[in-house]
Amino acid sequence: MDILLRRGDAAASDVRSELPDPPSYSAVRTMLSRLEEKGHVTHRQDGPRYVYRATIDAEQARESALERTVRTFFAGSPGKTVAALLDRSSADLSDADLDELAELIERMRQERR
């Protein structure tokens, strides 16, 4: 998805060429077909090849991926997800980052009241 969102249009061979340690061409085609079945991409025919384009924007793709990640790896718990992220990156967080997180948490508390 990232490649399609960045490029706009791309054939399976274009997508494959931009992947680190790329899978087989047929695996890329299968992945694109599954994304199309889910409504995330569409294709048009350009001669003998299909050219794919994302049907969702980057924000929608991020939200969908994040929702799936939270559901799959953190039992649907946003708290467990944030705790895992903070644990992994605590050394990389600046005071400004921590202040921003604190402000977001406080804002959410205020919105609930």
Structural domain includes residue 62: no
CATH code assigned at 40:
1.10.10.10
pLDDT tens readout for residues 45-83: 999 999 999 999 999 999 988 999 999 999 999 889 988
50 & 80 share domain: no
43 & 86 share domain: no
Higher pLDDT: 89 or 78? It is 78
Structural domain includes residue 18: yes
| Contact between 33 and 39 (Cβ < 8 Å) | no
User: 80-111 burial, b for 16+ CB within 10 Å, e for fewer?
Assistant: ebeeeeeeeeeeeeeeeeeeeeeeeeeeeeee
40 & 84 share domain: no
Domain of 103? 76-113
Position 27 scores a pLDDT of 96
